[in-house]
Structure 1
Amino acid sequence: MLLRFRVANVRSLRDEQELSFVVPEGSERERAAARELAFSDGSRLPVHTVVGVFGANASGKSNVIAALKNMRHAVLRSYADWTSYDGIPRDEFALDPKAASETSLYEADFVLDDGVRWTYGFELGARRVEAEWLYAYPKGRRQVWFERDASRDKDFEFPGERLHDRTRLARTTRPDALLLTRAANDGHEQLTPIFDWFKNNLWDVTPETERTQREDYTAMQLLRSEDFQRRAEELLKVADLGIAGVEVEQSSSGRPVVRLIHAGGGERTAMDWSSESWGTRSWFALIGPLLLALDTGAVLLIDELDASLHSRFAAEVVRLFQAPWVNPKGAQLIFTGHDPSLLRTPGGGRLLEPGQLWLTEKDERGATELSSVADWDPTDEEDLMASYLAGSFGAVPKVSEGQIGRRLMRTDDLARMEAEEV
């Protein structure tokens, strides 16, 4: 499971920002809503399975997702891909000229299936990896597996001699590649599980893009597994789409043909796929990645969860990851959204607790600040949706009622006056 993610100088995330799944101290209500994660040293920690990132348009919500994707791509592809670039691809903060000369930071704190906590991170310069580190906590105390600092005469240090093939790894890792990537490419027995965590996590889903590929994936899983079809049909039915089932067949073109069975007036009708609504197709396309994440215990990233899904659909996605009986492997969801109704259940309760609700807001430099609603110490009885909309936590558009219309009218008036002067 992912515990924390730190990032700096990536897109609008100029200064160091941290996103955390760990339940804030002193919140018994949040502890009850979280999972107790058991560590290898016998200790336990309450960890959330869902966090949502909200904020105004262009406040940097999607950049949090992008930074997580960047880190995953760097780990998986730095050794093979970065040789084709003139320097290292970084996405540094564009609104400050000094940012180009500073490093971009990525760090993830996570726990493997054996209960051992790991911290892995790196700092990227324009043309080389300036720093890289890997720490383990098998008995609660930090073990340094390796540390890298390009400013030293000897880049790599391996305290404790825990890591095998140290000399070869140090000698064969290029200045513009990560040691973790280099080791995994050779099947390094100790480091490959760390590499595999990134390979099997931080999957990205954007409902408005690549929908066709995800539709095909969901359809192929329906063809391959009766259990998957049973669960997919339940998810389609629970979304109250009037769907009674699904038919899938393999076509001569290689793409599966999908028909959803609609029930109404005592009749069952198989609808052509092109006749289905955008919302229905988006929900269908999301089912495949959702079930895969739940089955494997992966960390799933969904940007703009509510962009093409009704708020009820989006809330059901959150509930899937929240429910222990549906999510026994502790899969996690990080999503961005706009719809404040995701903060409240139909009965008036909370869908997300304060420690699960993160907000993005840009400062006067255009840099994104990421903060948790838990930092505002809301009471257990407080309506988070109402407080958010009222601007109590910030991170809402600073637009007064009618302001946009008045500005349009003013622009039209100015244009008319200029035309009359001509």
Structure 2
Amino acid sequence: MLLSFRVANHRSIRDEQELSLVATEFNEGTGRETGTRSEGKPVRVLPAIGIFGANASGKSNVLSAMRFMREAVIESLATWGKGQGVPRQPFELADEASADTSLFEVELLLGRADNKTRYTYGFELSDDRVESEWLHAYPSGRRQVWFEREANRPETEGGEFRFPGTGLSGRKDLKDLLVTTTRSNALFLTVGAALNHPQLSAIHRWFQDNLWLVTSGSDVEARTAWTRELLTRKEAKEMRDRLVTMLASADLGVTDVDVDAESGEVQLLHRGADGSSRRLDFWEQESLGTHAWFAFLGPLLHLLGRRGGGVLLADELDSSLHPVLAAEVVRFFQDAEANPELAQLIFTTHDATLLGPSVVERPLDRDQVWLTVKQREGESALYPLLAARKARNDENLERRYLRGYYGGVPRLTTGEVARQLAALERRLEAQRTESDPEPKATTTA
């Protein structure tokens, strides 16, 4: 499970920002026990995090950074080798940012329910190479450095590596092979997994199975096809039962799902006026809301059904789902019975109703709410709601958020857009009058 994520110098994110999924002392019960302790206290993890903010404030770029880190771990050995350097995306609004490194780091908790270990893995990238990379483990609460890498020796292709202690297993000749195989623009973790190093493969596997990004855009059709494909597998009966239950409970009028065994075509069944089941063409007759919910359920149910859970990244959750349905998705992740493997949801949204006017109506605890703001030079800042005016639990978070008490909303007064546009029209009209005055009338004899 994911405990935290750090990023710097990626798209609109200039300075280092950190997103934490560890429950705080202000949590009202959504935090889940992990069976581990830190500094003598039990560690509880959050099953869901909501990131709120104005348009273009950087919400989506937090998820983009997590997705980039996943792709780097999976693809750096094969894909990055096809071109020169590293395909990163540094902050564009400051010239000096291109000379600074981009940072990505996760803190993970992996292992069996009764024997979990905390790990910290990260790396820094320049346009040309991997500048540093590290993996630390905490098997008994104390740090073990499994490896550290620095690109400070040009004569060494992959950089300088350190393997202090005995935390990272394997003979010296195996580690030497991994080092000599690692290019300057490839991650050591990726190389280790490619050569089946057991410890490195376990960390690599977490990235491969997690950080699934879903958006409201072009991936809907691809996710729909993937959900359909899941339903055609031999072991898909339980998946189908869950999918039908969630389609029916969403009040979409769907009563069942029919899967053609030969073609794999999926049709949703609706109850007709005479009580019979009627099939509707999925793309031509089903609503866009039904498309969005069906496409969302594939990744959702896949992660919820995986041993060890997973992390689902949902960009603009409110753009494809009704607020009531979006709130139910959050509650689904919060429910220990519905989500026994502790899958996690990180989503961005503009939907202030998810903050709720009261504690009872609020699907999120205060420490599950994060905000993004765009600062003066265009860089994004990410911070928890609890850092903004120490929001009390009995506050109407929805109303106070919309009024700008916590930040993360457009700095506009009521009617300002209309007033600004009207003022522009007046200026344009004045300019047209000045450049093309009406001709004076003339008289003839």
TM-score by length of 2: 0.90
Provide the secondary structure at the position in 1 that maps to 2:361.
coil
Deviation at 1:327, TM superposition (A): 0.3
Counterparts of 1:290-309 in structure 2, within 5 Å, are 290-296=300-306, 297-309=309-321
Deviation at 1:38, TM superposition (A): 1.5
1:317 — aligned with what? 329
Picking from 177, 197, 208, the partner of 1:168 is: 177
1:91 — aligned with what? 89
Deviation at 1:90, TM superposition (A): 0.9
* Residues in 2 aligned to 1:263 and 1:92: alpha-carbon distance in whole angstroms: 55
Alignment-mate amino acid for residue 190 of structure 1? Q
Picking from 250, 269, 293, the partner of 1:239 is: 250
* Residues in 1 aligned to 2:189 and 2:36: alpha-carbon distance in whole angstroms: 23
CA contact (8 A) 1:50 1:334 kept: yes
Alpha-carbon spacing, 1:370–1:265, altered in 2? closer, same or farther (3 Å): farther
* Residues in 2 aligned to 1:87 and 1:373: alpha-carbon distance in whole angstroms: 38
* Residues in 2 aligned to 1:347 and 1:3: alpha-carbon distance in whole angstroms: 25
CA contact (8 A) 1:145 1:159 kept: yes
Matched, 1:287 2:297: yes
Counterparts of 1:103-142 in structure 2, within 5 Å, are 103-114=101-112, 115-142=116-143
Matched, 1:402 2:415: yes
Provide the secondary structure at the position in 2 that maps to 1:86.
coil
Deviation at 1:85, TM superposition (A): 2.4
Deviation at 1:272, TM superposition (A): 1.9
* Residues in 1 aligned to 2:107 and 2:273: alpha-carbon distance in whole angstroms: 50
1:327 — aligned with what? 339
Matched, 1:275 2:285: yes
* Residues in 1 aligned to 2:145 and 2:211: alpha-carbon distance in whole angstroms: 25
Alpha-carbon spacing, 1:130–1:263, altered in 2? closer, same or farther (3 Å): same
* Residues in 2 aligned to 1:33 and 1:162: alpha-carbon distance in whole angstroms: 34
- Superposed CA offset, 1:338-375 (max 9, x none): 11111228995321111110000011010000000022
CA contact (8 A) 2:358 2:395 kept: no
* Residues in 1 aligned to 2:378 and 2:102: alpha-carbon distance in whole angstroms: 17
2:237 — aligned with what? 226
* Residues in 2 aligned to 1:262 and 1:336: alpha-carbon distance in whole angstroms: 35
Q: Which has the larger radius of gyration?
A: 2
1:343 — aligned with what? 355
* Residues in 2 aligned to 1:157 and 1:329: alpha-carbon distance in whole angstroms: 35
Deviation at 1:31, TM superposition (A): 5.2
1:192 — aligned with what? 201
1:146 — aligned with what? 147
Provide the secondary structure at the position in 1 that maps to 2:146.
strand
CA contact (8 A) 1:105 1:123 kept: yes
Deviation at 1:264, TM superposition (A): 4.8
CA contact (8 A) 2:6 2:103 kept: yes
Deviation at 1:411, TM superposition (A): 2.0
CA contact (8 A) 2:358 2:394 kept: no
Deviation at 1:227, TM superposition (A): 1.4
Deviation at 1:89, TM superposition (A): 0.9
* Residues in 2 aligned to 1:398 and 1:245: alpha-carbon distance in whole angstroms: 47
CA contact (8 A) 1:242 1:264 kept: no
Alignment-mate amino acid for residue 118 of structure 2? R
Alpha-carbon spacing, 1:397–1:260, altered in 2? closer, same or farther (3 Å): farther
- Superposed CA offset, 1:394-416 (max 9, x none): 01011111111112212222222
Provide the secondary structure at the position in 1 that maps to 2:226.
helix
CA contact (8 A) 2:357 2:396 kept: no
* Residues in 1 aligned to 2:383 and 2:274: alpha-carbon distance in whole angstroms: 50
Deviation at 1:267, TM superposition (A): 4.7
Alpha-carbon spacing, 1:300–1:396, altered in 2? closer, same or farther (3 Å): same
Deviation at 1:48, TM superposition (A): 0.4
* Residues in 2 aligned to 1:340 and 1:168: alpha-carbon distance in whole angstroms: 53
1:156 — aligned with what? 161
2:425 — aligned with what? 412
- Superposed CA offset, 1:256-303 (max 9, x none): 242332455645422221111111110011111100011110111010
- Superposed CA offset, 1:294-316 (max 9, x none): 11101110101111211112111
Identity of aligned residues (%): 45
Q: CA RMSD in A?
A: 1.9
* Residues in 1 aligned to 2:165 and 2:385: alpha-carbon distance in whole angstroms: 41
Please list every run of 5 or more consecutive structure 1 residues that lacks an aligned counterpart in the other structure. none
1:3 — aligned with what? 3
Alpha-carbon spacing, 1:7–1:347, altered in 2? closer, same or farther (3 Å): closer
Counterparts of 1:33-44 in structure 2, within 5 Å, are 33-39=30-36, 44=42
1:360 — aligned with what? 372
Provide the secondary structure at the position in 2 that maps to 1:279.
helix
* Residues in 2 aligned to 1:176 and 1:356: alpha-carbon distance in whole angstroms: 36
* Residues in 2 aligned to 1:270 and 1:93: alpha-carbon distance in whole angstroms: 50
Alignment-mate amino acid for residue 309 of structure 1? L
How many residue pairs end up in the alignment?
A: 417
* Residues in 2 aligned to 1:136 and 1:264: alpha-carbon distance in whole angstroms: 61
CA contact (8 A) 1:53 1:336 kept: yes
